[in-house]
Structures are given as structure tokens and as C-alpha cells.
Amino acid sequence: MPAAGFLPFTGPTLAAGERGCAMRVLYLLNVSNPNRLSADSGFTFADLLAPALTDAGVEVTVAAPVPAGDRRVGFEPTVSPATKYRARFDPGVCGLADLVRRTRPEVVVANQIETAPAVRAALLEAGRDALIAGYCHYLPFSFTDGGRLVADPSLDDGGLGHSVMLAFAAGLAACDRVLVHSSTSASWTTAAAARMGVELAQKLHVVPAPRDGRLVRDPAEAAAPEGRARAIYGHRLYAHYGTDRFAALARRLVTEAPVELTVLDLFGTRSPERVRLDPSPERHRDQLAALDGVTIASDRGDRIRYRDLLAGAHFGIAPFRAGCPWSMSVIDCQGMGLPVIAPRTGWLAEHIDEDLLFDTADQAVAIATRLATDSEFYRVHAKLAHAATADLTPARVAARYLEALR
């Protein structure tokens, strides 16, 4: 029987030696939403990055429950973990060792940092010497205004939050390279690691996630609103994303500002197991659907429909998530030339233009009103939003990725 998470090899792929001497990268990808890939930022990242690395001459194999879209990218099927805790605590060393023997990587990318010690053990067991690069796709902690390190509430079921943070620190220690999205994320990761006795030294690199070329539009095509605007909120409706605060702001926007609001239902009908673990998305979806002026929409997992929904909006709203290190949905909006208003926190304060940051709901309503009624202000920020993603093409991100690996 294969170890937990890994399926027996069934594909007719060539041995590494038969495919030339390009750098061999094994990309270990945990997909938390295999039935709704459009809502899984980790998969989207890999699906954009792997072909760009291939274009750069890298031989990439993605080990995941679903293959990357580019047929040039190798694929090793894995089983999606039943819960987010299995993804962190049950990586399956035996299956990893078998995978390493088959693919013979020179670099292993652990998209789930907590699995890095198991990857190191698997390399030892398989007799392979490969560099381990961990991508901090998600930080399981945040810092209070007073500088206190706290566990992410979404990973604290049954009091597991502290254990997850320790597992994350163990993963950082096992990595040869640690990649993060932003300067903010680098600062937080360094501070958290130091408090848990891990020195990152020279192995930490900032490598932002790529934008999706399908979601890029000339800002000149984004028509300025004429006294009334449609805003879009495209983030997960979990409680830990600050959805209570967003819902309170949504109520004020549709009653006090010339704004209509579309909220994306990214998950659709979730499994009973996922609902039981965290029912907050369904609760918040119903709460928002009850508001006049708010429309709940779904992209139904279709990237073209998602693009159309963005194209029909005038501006986006960032999440209120504590310790937000990066947001794919924010980048999606900006690539389409949509200004994004955001709470002044985390990476958002680093990335969003000062004119669109707010500390209070009153400020947020005022900014939204100005976007809806001041055409020149809107056009300036549509151009700035688009420009903020110019360096995030998959090719440029792949080049930064490879620079970090060398």
C-alpha cells in the first residue's frame, strides 16, 4: 500500500536521464479545493509558474491531485488530504521517498512548508541530495499591534494552532531556501522564526506570485463610473478573512455610497466534512445575500466567466484578513485595471496606493464614493492598479524563482 497522500506510479513518463540535463524540479503541491480549482490560489500559482519555468529550460514535475494545464509539465498524481491538518501533519515519508526515487529531483519545492522535514527525511531514505525550497504560500500566524505572535484562528481547531506554528518553524529549519510573497511577509516570517529558534540567515528570498495573463486588460478599457459604481469582493468568506468586518462595510457601502456590490461565492456547495470543520463561509454568504444592493455571484469554476465578472466591476475590495501576506484576488483585480480599496494592514499597506487605504469604515465609504463620482481620480488609480502588476508576468516571476534557487 502507498503511504498516505501518494498514489502508486502509473504513468509512462521518461526517466530523468532520458530527458536531457535540465535542472529537475519536483513541485509538491497541496490542493485544498480540488473540486473548485479556480478558488485554489496555490494551484493557480503552480499552473502559471510551472510552464514559465519550463520555458526557461527547467524540467518540472508537479506532484498534486490534478495536473498543471501545460502538457510539457510532468505529473505525479497524489491524493488531496482530507483536512488542512493532514496536509501539515501527515505528509507520508514512504510515499515521498518513492516519489523522489522516480523523479530524481535536484530541487524539491515544498508548497506546504510544514512538509519540509518529511521531504528531507525522504531524500535521506532515497539517497538523493536535492535542494529543498519552501514557499510560504500561507502564514499560520500574525502579529498584534503590540507585536505579540498569535496563531491563525483558521488553524487552531482543537487548540492545534501552536503546534501548527511549531511545525511551520520546523519546516523553515529544514529548507535550504525559503521563498515569500512580499517584504511584509519576509519581515513577519523572519520575526516568527527567530522567536521559535530558527535562523533564516541568507536563505530567505522575496518572490511574488505571478499574475494570470488571462486576467490582464488595458486600463483604458476600464470605463470610469458615471456617478454610480459596482464594487466586487472576490475573497474566501471564512471568518478568519475578516468577513464580519467586510459585511459591516458592505452594509454601509450600499446604503451610504453610490455603490452596488457583487460578492463572489468561490466555493459553491462544499462537502459536509468541510462545512462541519468551518461553517463560516455559508453563514456569511447568507448574511450578505440578505442585503439590498448586494449580489452573490459564482464563476462556477470558469476562468472566462470570472474575467467577465471582473470586467463588469469598477473597483475591488481587499480582505480584512489579519496578517495578510498577499492576495491573488487583489492582483486579479489590478491586472484588469480595477483600483482596489483596502484596510491599512499587512501586505496591503505595502502594495496598495496610499489614496485607497483606509483605517475606518468612514474612510472606506469616502474613498468608494470618490471612485464612483470623480472620473479623473478613478482613471489615475485604474492605471496605477494595472502598473502594480507589470512585473508579475509568469516569465519574470520564474526568473526570480530561479535566481533564488541558485
Res 36 pLDDT > 90? no
Share of the chain above pLDDT 90, in %: 75
Contacts of 30 (CB under 8 A, 6+ apart): 42, 64, 80, 81, 87, 111, 112, 115
pLDDT over threshold 70, residue 78 = yes
Per-residue pLDDT band for 266 (boundaries 50, 70, 90) equals confident
pLDDT at residue number 130: 97
Q: Is 147 helix (H, G, I), strand (E, B) or coil?
A: coil
pLDDT band per the 50, 70, 90 thresholds, residue 323: confident
Mean pLDDT of 306-318: 97
% the chain with pLDDT above 70: 95
pLDDT for the residue 21: 57
pLDDT reported for residue 31: 82
Does the pLDDT value for residue 254 go beyond 80? yes
Distance between CA 384 and CA 315 in Å, rounded?
A: 12
pLDDT tens digits for range 100-140: 999 999 999 999 999 999 999 999 999 999 999 999 988 99
* pLDDT tens track for 226-240: 999 999 999 989 888
Query: Among 160-169, 188-197, 265-274, which is the least confidently predicted range?
Result: 265-274
pLDDT for residue 2 is more than 50: no
| Average pLDDT value for the chain | 90
Angle at 26 between CA 71 and CA 235, to 5 degrees: 75
Residue 387 pLDDT > 80: yes
pLDDT in tens, 166-180: 999 999 999 999 999
Q: What does the pLDDT look like over 201-226, one tens digit per residue?
A: 889 999 999 999 999 999 888 889 99
Mean pLDDT throughout 4-27?
Answer: 51
**Looking at the predicted structure, is the pLDDT value of residue 9 above 50?**
no
With a cut of 60, say whether residue 338 has pLDDT above it.
yes
Confidence of residue 12 (pLDDT cuts 50, 70, 90): very low
Question: In angstroms, rounded to a whole number, what is the distance separating the alpha carbons of residues 125 and 111?
Answer: 21
Write down the pLDDT at residue 259: 98
- Rounded to whole angstroms, how far apart are CA atoms 356 and 343? 9
* Rounded CA separation 406/404 (Å): 6
- The pLDDT of residue 222: 82
Q: What local confidence, expressed as pLDDT, does residue 27 receive?
A: 97
Which SS3 state, helix, strand or coil, does residue 265 take? coil
